[in-house]
Amino acid sequence: MIHAQLDVELCGRLADSCGPSLRLTIPENGLPVTAMLASLARAYPAVSDALGRIRIRACINETIVSEEAVVRPGDTVALFPPVSGG
């Protein structure tokens, strides 16, 4: 299977443990958000605690998406912890 690199931006407190961006290798035909979160947790044990503890929303190309959405190479991907308003 051909793989591609994907940079995932971490927002808010998610960036505390590993910085604001993490690189992940994903299949060229993409993978669902839930699988991407699992891959991130495996690749970066320091963020796995935060990913499992708080409700995370994924954002693909500036749209907040469901957990079933598929992340593809070239997408702009970010993970949001709960927002804390103004």
Kindly state the smallest distance separating residue 59's Cβ from other proteins, in Å: 6
Nearer to other proteins, 68 or 85 (CB): 85
User: x-or-dash pattern for other proteins, window 18-57, by CB under 8 A?
Assistant: ----------------------------------------
Binding other proteins (rule: CB under 8 A), the pick from 28, 42, 64, 66 is 64
**CA distance linking residue 83 with residue 64, whole number of Å:** 13
C-beta of residue 80 within 8 angstroms of C-beta of residue 11: yes
Kindly state the smallest distance separating residue 4's Cβ from other proteins, in Å: 22
**CA distance linking residue 50 with residue 47, whole number of Å:** 5
**CA distance linking residue 50 with residue 69, whole number of Å:** 21
